[in-house]
Structure 1
Amino acid sequence: MSNFKVNLKRLVETLPVKGVNVLTPIIEGIVNGINSIDERKKIDKNFKDGKIEVIIEKKLQIDGKESGGIDFLKIIDNGIGFNKENFESFNEAFSEKKIDIGGKGFGRITYLKYFKTISVNSTYYDNGFKNIIFNFGKEGTYGNSISDGGNKHLTEIKFEFPEKVFSEGLNEKCETVARKLSEHLLSFLLDDNCPDIIIKLSGKSINLKEYIKREDCKILGIKEIDKDIFGKKFKIYIYKFYFPEKDINSINLVAHNRVVTTTNLSKYIPEFEDIFTDKINKNGKEKTENYAIKIYVKSNLFDKSVNTIRNKFDFEVENLENNFL
């Protein structure tokens, strides 16, 4: 048996700032939930109602009003759960368990960039329902206990004691968080097999799958293009995003259904610095609505070239981006 160890604390400290932000642990948690639900579907062909809840709890003042900072984050799903195989994979940095679906075995490490403690309570099925409870911090996993019990698949991950940069950095409305997550996870959300993903914040609840279809926040696919560049195949999707808030026109390079890099289109076409508007008839009245053009590009090249923390590729994207416009 190897005695080689990984210093988790130092690994977290050396995470680059660029490309890792306050939404990273939420995105990682959601994608892990999607993977867990997909894994359960493969075993249970009758299971169809996958669900992920993201609960963002703000700190309260003495008078009961929200103070603005984040107290804790919870992500709950009804996927396969932390059975023996998944728990062992969680305990191994750079695990290969999900390599076939683009897993890097590193996402949970980014949790510790913004939270001191992550506690897990998971009910899974293994010749009867079992429940595992454990904690995860810079010292690794600890406090594990497994017992018989429960009557359904349910995993709750609680992110506690947030770093100041997370607590203050996510001081946004539920709508804003939903919009940012929708943009990043769009490829998942447009898949008919995507589970419900519900964001709960400040007394509001938004289902991302329904959110992208709402009249005031709709996303319209304009064009789908196949392109060969330098002998590589690319699929280009162009969307109009209607949102009440100001947004940038952008080109987004996607690996394994997740946005890796986002570049303002005005870098290549100055006119895209402008805010675009449409005249839309609503209830017999003409209304002006803002929209942004967002280009999403997928390729096996991106899937193979994305780095461990999914914030860049092993080539200069500028050499390619211009060819997509």
Structure 2
Amino acid sequence: MDDLLPELHTNVSGKIRNTKLPKAKSLWPLFEAISNSIHAIQDKGNSNGKIQINIDRQGNDDLLAECENVEIYPITDFEIIDNGVGLDLKNFKSFLTAESEHKIDRGAKGIGRFVCLKAFKSLNFKSSFKNEDDQKNYIREFVFKANDKGIFNHLVNESNNKHTGTSVTLTSFINDYQETCPRKLYDIGEKVIDHFLVYYLNKKAPRIEIVEKINGTKLELNNLYNTSFKASIKAREFELYGYKFDVHLLRLFDVKKGHRIHYCGNDRVVKEEKLLKYIPDLGNSILEDGLNFTYQVYITSAFLDGHVDNERTDFDFPDFVEEGDLQQLVNDSPNLERIRQKAIECLEEILVAYLTNVRQTKYDSYSRHIIADAPQFKTLLKYKPNAVRTMNPNLTGNRLNIELFKVQTDLEIEIKELGEKVLNSNNLVDTDEYKALYDDYIEKFNDIG
């Protein structure tokens, strides 16, 4: 059936040496294996997809079996089992090709197996698949290591097993990565959900469970998502030029990333940017019940799915419409600026209570500064209170005065334009309307001196 020479078409040790994997990203090999399993399930068209992750720990099995808390021991191996399409000839050829483009349309870069060998000494594969040529079932087994041509002990045998799927064991965690790897099932489960969150948001995640191999303790990630993640997610939707967009807002108890907007396409994050730039009143993080968190915003849409570029790193529509770009105006189609603006409106609606309180507190603080130390800006409290409320937070001293001066300048320009309208216009025939505008202008003119 399979006369394919089991040799990887690259220098494996050199490829791994040139593959970067920070020590802090010790779970990325697991993510790569899970991603492959998800793709295999999708390729099979399996609506009952399942992925089981078995964890082996360092230590004697008999002693571990008697231990009340095995999670204090380091992890040595991850075994990932799926019921996907299996490593058939097409998928195995892709495996043997470094930086394969086989799954490039899903954002894959073809380097996942090298990332795995950066942190583990070997990958052990056992895969059941159906051969397209003779419609028979086979089992493929081999070991992938970081030397020679990479593939060892490759066997393909006919099988009576009609079920397809793959088991890959990431074997012998390398110490530098093992030391930074979470040990608790719950912590690992949270990291997996966070990494594959778009699948959960789009209701496309297969059933995933993590199992403590020594005692059978099990964590169902779908249940964890429903109880710990989904309950905290706030959702809104908006329509733009006939296209529907979904906005998902959730908390992340990891302040290093900051508040971010994630634009998603084809079940993955394609582009992201800082949310603080558009809602500065969120601050660097939010403290509640003694815990700091940030807001993460995920935007999904069939429109975004259809406009991911070939590199899977951006979208093929413009960020904004250049002034005078008549073709884009005629097309009347979404661009990033329009999508962002509508999403921010949704977020302002969701967070209205929090932001109103923050902005009022800020306004009170800036008002005290104006009254006590900068009375030249008192007219802003009368005519531009909302502009003061939406100024950047935490400004003091000269920095605050500079921003107040900018708002004051805007007010003076508005008053001059109002004066032009009142004193030089011949279009105001309504006496009451004219008198109201005149009185408004005179009051503002006198107030600013």
What residue number does 1:181 align with? 192
Residue 212 and residue 161 in structure 1: after superposition, are their counterparts in 2 closer, same or farther (change >3 A)?
A: same
What residue number does 1:146 align with? 156
Cα-to-partner distance string for 1:254-308 (whole Å, 9 max, x where unaligned): 5643347877756873744344549xxxxxxxxx99875211256577654557x
Does the alignment pair 1:170 with 2:172?
Answer: no
The answer as to whether partners of 2:137 and 2:158 remain within 8 angstroms in 1 is yes
The answer as to whether partners of 2:105 and 2:310 remain within 8 angstroms in 1 is no
Question: Which amino acid letter does the alignment assign opposite residue 142 of structure 1?
Answer: F
The answer as to whether partners of 1:234 and 1:297 remain within 8 angstroms in 2 is no
Name which of 208, 219, 242 aligns with 2:221. Answer: 208
The answer as to whether partners of 2:237 and 2:244 remain within 8 angstroms in 1 is no
Instruction: Kindly report which structure 2 residues correspond to 1:75-86, keeping only aligned pairs within 5 A, or say none.
Output: 75-86=80-91
Cα-to-partner distance string for 1:17-48 (whole Å, 9 max, x where unaligned): 4598112111111111111111111xxxxx43
The CA deviation at 1:97 is 1.8
Residue 113 and residue 132 in structure 1: after superposition, are their counterparts in 2 closer, same or farther (change >3 A)?
A: same
Q: Distance in 1 between matches of 2:35 and 2:27?
A: 12
The answer as to whether partners of 1:52 and 1:195 remain within 8 angstroms in 2 is yes
Instruction: Kindly report which structure 2 residues correspond to 1:254-265, keeping only aligned pairs within 5 A, or say none.
Output: 254=264, 256-259=266-269
Relative to the length of structure 2, the TM-score reads 0.55
Does the alignment pair 1:122 with 2:132?
Answer: no
Does the alignment pair 1:22 with 2:26?
Answer: yes
The answer as to whether partners of 2:124 and 2:170 remain within 8 angstroms in 1 is yes
The CA deviation at 1:218 is 2.7
Name which of 11, 14, 34 aligns with 2:15. Answer: 11
Residue 240 and residue 261 in structure 1: after superposition, are their counterparts in 2 closer, same or farther (change >3 A)?
A: same
Does the alignment pair 1:110 with 2:115?
Answer: yes
Larger relative strand fraction: 1
Ranges in structure 1 where 5+ consecutive residues have no aligned partner: 42-46, 279-287, 314-319
Q: Distance in 2 between matches of 1:103 and 1:295?
A: 23
Which deviates more from structure 2 when the two are superposed, residues 28-37 or residues 66-75? 66-75
What residue number does 2:248 align with? 238
Q: Distance in 2 between matches of 1:10 and 1:227?
A: 49
Cα-to-partner distance string for 1:132-187 (whole Å, 9 max, x where unaligned): 10111123222110111123113100011111122222133211111122122111
The CA deviation at 1:247 is 3.5
The percent identity for this pair of structures is 24
Residue 163 and residue 259 in structure 1: after superposition, are their counterparts in 2 closer, same or farther (change >3 A)?
A: farther
What residue number does 1:72 align with? 77
What residue number does 1:156 align with? 167
Question: Which amino acid letter does the alignment assign opposite residue 37 of structure 2?
Answer: G
Q: Distance in 1 between matches of 2:75 and 2:22?
A: 22
The CA deviation at 1:125 is 1.6
What residue number does 2:145 align with? 137
The answer as to whether partners of 2:10 and 2:97 remain within 8 angstroms in 1 is no
What residue number does 1:34 align with? 38
Residue 12 and residue 254 in structure 1: after superposition, are their counterparts in 2 closer, same or farther (change >3 A)?
A: farther
Residue 200 and residue 270 in structure 1: after superposition, are their counterparts in 2 closer, same or farther (change >3 A)?
A: farther
Cα-to-partner distance string for 1:174-233 (whole Å, 9 max, x where unaligned): 1111112212211112333432111224854222222211168634233345789xxxx9
Aligned residues: 291
The answer as to whether partners of 1:238 and 1:295 remain within 8 angstroms in 2 is yes
What residue number does 1:294 align with? 296
The answer as to whether partners of 1:227 and 1:236 remain within 8 angstroms in 2 is no
Q: Distance in 2 between matches of 1:174 and 1:48?
A: 26
Which deviates more from structure 2 when the two are superposed, residues 14-23 or residues 145-154? 14-23
Q: Distance in 2 between matches of 1:226 and 1:15?
A: 42
The answer as to whether partners of 2:245 and 2:299 remain within 8 angstroms in 1 is yes
Instruction: Kindly report which structure 2 residues correspond to 1:52-71, keeping only aligned pairs within 5 A, or say none.
Output: 52-60=51-59, 63-64=63-64, 65=67, 66=70, 68-71=73-76
SS in 1 for 2:36: helix
Question: Relative CO higher for 1 or 2, CA cutoff 8 Å, sep ≥ 6?
Answer: 1
Question: Which amino acid letter does the alignment assign opposite residue 81 of structure 1?
Answer: G
Which deviates more from structure 2 when the two are superposed, residues 169-178 or residues 218-227? 218-227
Ranges in structure 2 where 5+ consecutive residues have no aligned partner: 1-7, 316-335, 345-449
Q: Distance in 1 between matches of 2:198 and 2:229?
A: 20
Larger relative helix fraction: 2
The answer as to whether partners of 1:117 and 1:161 remain within 8 angstroms in 2 is yes
The answer as to whether partners of 2:139 and 2:158 remain within 8 angstroms in 1 is yes
Measured on the aligned residues, the alpha-carbon RMSD in Å equals: 3.7
The answer as to whether partners of 2:23 and 2:177 remain within 8 angstroms in 1 is no
